[in-house]
């Protein structure tokens, strides 16, 4: 009996000590903080001290009664400088190595630490010097997700959505997204994600049809040339026959006959091949209408009597989109017609498409449901129709606005970077003005405390981010705006911001988006929005952002806003996907900055990040094509940043 009691006591003590060793210590003591301030890098040569590393801190000496013990070493993500000050261990020049990264976190992960388990899952998903192991990533994510850790639930949902390491399962993806968000009924899969594979196949089909059409045209030309040669050969043969005397032309006549036989054979082959192409073209898929804005919710079967002013079949597939009354709704999308487009019409009125097949139409909505019928007909007579019902929602009430007090959203900070005058790259025209105007409106209209850096070096950017990492708390919001040169290495899918001291051929002073995301991931701020007037790699799908419909019922919108504002968010709004972005075209601003400024100026209500993206996209439609460059803004959570299904909110001062 005594042995059993002693064993139980030691078991309890061991479990207690193990739980202590797994804690994540992020705060510095006053002594450590003073030392950190005194040792902060003062020059660009020490900028790497501000980068984030996987740090193994030494164990702590503790007492439990009369027993003195040393806790296990514990892992944290922190800057290289902080790790050194706290006596920790990290690998200085091999941060992207799989073995060293796993070694830091594995012990805590195996001990049940959900944060460590998520980090191990991310290491396996990233690959870090080797091929990604999505199966092991899913295994570790699931361990943490089952403990209720939102970041792991989102990462696991992403794997199910994309079919990486697990069987593709949209229902399972939605389940984990909903667990992370706390909104059981609101979360759905982003249509862009659902349709991505279909759109890719349609694009491949269109390219294949275009290739075959060119082959068909080439064959047609060859047939015409062959027929001309054949006619010439026959005419020449008849001439030779007329001129023939006692066999002197027999050889030439025989050669012409052989030439005619070959040309006739070529003509038959060309006809047969042309017939095959024409038959395959007949089998090609008809036109497709791809909606960009609004995002289309799941379609509903509506009775004819439910839709005023639109003739439908007895039952028709229709999608409802809720908007505010008395407004104009911009509808944007793209038509894909592999066999060529004959007609595109909106509510029976023909509309023109740009060279990419994109369209933009405006529909006025007063006080009732407005039907919108989009119809595309290709050159083979095949057609497709997308039906929308613009449903009028209610305006947010004063009572609704009063339910969210100013302190609910917290404090707002902004780091504004405008890189215009480069040492090694071509200088730009608008970043200085863009940055200054963005800073001004954020400060005056939205109450931000702003810090503006013009012509920033790599060290300037890292130092500013490091200061926010040390000072911001969970009561703060941070917006980071960058305008300047960017670069995307498509081979390794890695993006870079180019500081003004970055050389063209040497990347030592470039700033990778991985390093920026790592710094954001350890900040305590509740919400962080990164706005990049440049490319930015490393994003999740938009399914990991809770949709907050602007025209939803007051109580529902209030509830969704409260939930989303209470959860951590790490999102990015970029000016383009993988395409070059425009440094002009906005009347002294970049096209993207002009659209962003217009939206911020025109807005007078609480504005969430997703709606900011939609409004900026709507302003950009038609602006970028005017200078012959396609520019489509992107908005999504940052991958591996600690996003927890929250959302960034911009609140005008008068709303506070």
Model pLDDT for residues 548-598, shown as the tens digit of each residue: 655 455 566 677 788 888 889 999 998 865 444 444 455 678 888 999 999
CATH (domain of 388): 2.60.40.10
422 inside domain: yes
Mapped to the 3 state alphabet, what secondary structure does 332-344 carry? EEEEECCCCEEEE
Q: Are residues 223 and 141 in the same domain?
A: no
The answer on 52 and 95 residing in a single domain is: yes
What residues contact residue 365 under an 8 Å CB cut-off, 6+ apart?
Answer: 323, 325, 326, 327, 328, 329, 390, 392
Do 341 and 370 lie in a common domain?
yes
Number of Cβ atoms within 10 Å of the Cβ of 602? 9
Tokens of 378: 């290709």
End position of a domain, from candidates 245, 266, 283: 283
Q: Are residues 479 and 600 in the same domain?
A: yes
| Last residue of one domain, picked from the residues 172, 191, 210 | 191
Residue 343 backbone phi and psi in degrees, to 5: -155, 140
Same domain, 141 and 200: no
Residue 401 lies in a domain: no
Q: Where is the domain boundary, 191, 222, 247?
A: 191
Q: Is residue 588 part of a domain?
A: yes
78-92 tens-digit pLDDT:
888 888 888 888 876
State the residue for tokens 């019922």: 553
Beta pairing, strands 315-323 & 327-336 = unpaired
Q: Is 178 found in the same domain as 110?
A: yes
Q: How confident is the model at residue 295 (pLDDT cuts 50, 70, 90)?
A: low
What DSSP line would sit under 221-243, residue for residue? HHHHHHHHHHHHHHHHHHHHHHH
CA-based radius of gyration for the chain? 32
Chain centroid to CA 574: 8
Cβ atoms of 603 and 562 within 8 Å: the answer is no
Question: Looking at the structure, do residues 242 and 304 belong to the same domain, yes or no?
Answer: no
Residue-level pLDDT at 2: 40
Distance CA 370, CA 364 (A): 8
Residue 72 lies in a domain: yes
Residue 254 to residue 250: CA distance in whole angstroms: 6
pLDDT at 647 over 80: yes
Same domain for 454 and 366 = no
Asked, for residue 398, whether it belongs to a domain, the answer is no
Residues 486 and 604 grouped into a single domain? yes
Please give the pLDDT value at position 322: 66
Per the CB < 8 A criterion, the answer to whether 431 and 419 are in contact is: yes
**Mean of the per-residue pLDDT values for the chain?**
75
Residue-range definition of the domain harbouring residue 229:
196-283
Residues 518 and 612 in one domain: yes
- Indicate whether 511 belongs to any domain: yes
Rounded Cα distance, 159 and 137, in Å: 9
| CATH number of the domain that residue 533 is part of | 3.40.50.1460
Domain count, the chain: 4
State whether 154 and 278 are in the same domain: no
- pLDDT tens-digit series, residues 146-159: 999 988 998 998 89
Asked, for residue 479, whether it belongs to a domain, the answer is: yes
| Predicted pLDDT of residue 212 | 64
The per-residue pLDDT for range 182-233, each reduced to its tens digit, is: 766 555 555 455 444 545 555 555 566 666 667 667 767 777 777 777 777 7
pLDDT at 403: 58
Confidence grade of residue 523 (pLDDT, cut at 50, 70, 90): very high
Work out the percent of the chain whose per-residue pLDDT is above 90.
23
Helices (H), 527-628: 554-566, 591-602, 609-620
Q: Is 554 left (phi over 0), alpha (psi -120 to 50) or beta?
A: alpha
Residue 253 lies in a domain: yes
Give, in degrees to the nearest 5, the angle at Cα 626 between 624 and 631. 15
| CATH number for the domain harbouring residue 174 | 1.25.40.10
For residue 614, give the 3-state DSSP assignment: helix
Q: Supply the pLDDT for residue 58.
A: 86
Which sign, positive or negative, has the C-alpha torsion 192, 197, 203, 205?
negative
3-state secondary structure of 654: helix
The verdict on 493 and 559 lying in the same domain is yes
In angstroms, the CA 586 to CA 280 distance is 46
Q: Quick one: average pLDDT of 337-348?
A: 86
Q: Determine the Cα–Cα distance for residues 273 and 294; give it in Å rounded to an integer.
A: 44
For residues 449 and 94, the model is more confident at 449
* Cβ contact 532:374 at 8 Å: no
pLDDT on residue 227: 76
Q: Are 139 and 153 contacting, i.e. CB atoms less than 8 angstroms apart?
A: no
Q: CB burial class (10 A; 0-12, 13-18, 19+) of residue 295?
A: middle
Note if the pTM is more than 0.85. Answer: no
pLDDT-derived band at 23 (thresholds 50, 70, 90) equals very low
Q: Residue 330: enclosing H or E segment and its boundaries?
A: strand 327-336
Between 187 and 56, where is the model more confident? 56
Q: What is the pLDDT of residue 250?
A: 66
3-state secondary structure of 569: strand
């Amino acid at each position: 009996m005594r042995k059993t009691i002693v064993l139980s006591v030691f078991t309890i003590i061991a479990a207690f000590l193990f739980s202590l060793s797994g804690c994540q210590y992020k705060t510095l003591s006053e002594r450590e903080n003073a030392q950190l301030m005194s040792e902060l890098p003062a020059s660009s040569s020490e900028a790497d001290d501000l980068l984030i590393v996987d740090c193994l801190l030494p164990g702590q000496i503790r007492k439990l009664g009369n027993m003195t013990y040393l806790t296990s070493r514990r892992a944290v993500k922190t800057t290289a400088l902080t790790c050194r000050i706290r006596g920790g261990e990290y690998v200085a020049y091999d941060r992207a190595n799989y073995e060293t990264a796993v070694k830091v976190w594995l012990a805590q992960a195996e001990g049940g630490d959900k944060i460590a388990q998520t980090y191990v899952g991310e290491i396996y998903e990233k690959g870090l010097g080797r091929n990604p192991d999505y199966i092991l990533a899913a295994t570790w994510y699931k361990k943490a997700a089952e403990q209720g850790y939102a970041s792991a639930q989102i990462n696991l949902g992403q794997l199910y959505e994309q079919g990486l390491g697990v069987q593709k399962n949209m229902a399972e993806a939605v389940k984990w997204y909903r667990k992370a968000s706390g909104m059981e009924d609101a979360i759905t899969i982003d249509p862009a994600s659902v349709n991505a594979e279909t759109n890719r196949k349609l694009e491949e089909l269109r390219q294949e049809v275009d290739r075959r059409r060119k082959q068909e045209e080439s064959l047609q030309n060859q047939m015409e040339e062959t027929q001309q040669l054949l006619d010439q050969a026959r005419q020449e043969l008849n001439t030779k026959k007329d001129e023939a005397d006692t066999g002197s032309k027999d050889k030439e006549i025989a050669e012409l006959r052989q030439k005619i036989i070959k040309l006739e054979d070529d003509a038959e082959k060309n006809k047969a091949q042309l017939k095959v192409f024409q038959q395959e073209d007949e089998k090609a898929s008809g036109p497709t209408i791809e909606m960009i804005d609004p995002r289309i919710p799941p379609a509903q079967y509506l009775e004819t009597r439910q839709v005023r002013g639109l003739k439908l079949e007895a039952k028709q597939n229709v999608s409802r989109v809720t908007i505010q009354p008395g407004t104009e709704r911009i509808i944007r999308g793209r038509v894909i017609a592999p066999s060529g487009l004959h007609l595109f019409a909106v509510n029976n009125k023909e509309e023109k498409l740009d060279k990419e097949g994109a369209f933009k139409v405006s529909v006025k909505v007063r006080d009732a449901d407005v039907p919108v019928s989009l119809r595309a007909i290709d050159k083979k007579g095949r057609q497709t129709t997308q039906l929308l019902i613009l449903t009028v929602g209610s305006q947010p009430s004063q009572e609704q606005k009063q339910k969210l007090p100013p302190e609910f959203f917290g404090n707002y900070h902004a780091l504004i970077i405008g890189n215009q005058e480069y040492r090694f790259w071509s200088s730009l025209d608008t970043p200085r003005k863009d940055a200054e105007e963005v800073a001004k409106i954020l400060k005056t209209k939205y109450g931000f405390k702003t810090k503006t850096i013009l012509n920033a070096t790599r060290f300037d950017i890292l130092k500013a981010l490091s200061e926010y990492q040390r000072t911001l708390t969970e009561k703060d919001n941070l917006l980071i705006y960058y305008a300047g040169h960017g670069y995307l290495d498509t081979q390794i899918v890695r993006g870079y911001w180019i500081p003004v001291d970055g050389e063209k051929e040497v990347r030592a002073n470039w700033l990778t988006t991985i390093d920026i995301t790592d710094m954001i991931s350890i900040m305590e701020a509740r919400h962080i929005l990164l706005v990049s007037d440049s490319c930015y790699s490393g994003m999740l799908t938009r399914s990991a952002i809770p949709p907050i419909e602007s025209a939803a019922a007051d109580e529902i919108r209030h509830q969704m806003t409260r939930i989303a504002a209470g959860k951590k968010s790490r999102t990015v709004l970029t000016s383009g996907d993988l395409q070059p972005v425009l440094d002009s075209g906005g009347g002294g601003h970049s096209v993207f900055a002009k659209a962003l400024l217009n939206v911020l100026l025109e807005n007078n209500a609480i504005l969430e990040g997703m709606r900011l993206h939609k409004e900026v996209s709507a302003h950009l439609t038609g602006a970028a094509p005017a200078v012959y460059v396609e520019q489509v803004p992107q908005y999504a959570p940052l991958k591996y940043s600690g996003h927890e299904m929250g959302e960034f909110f911009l609140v005008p001062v008068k709303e506070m």
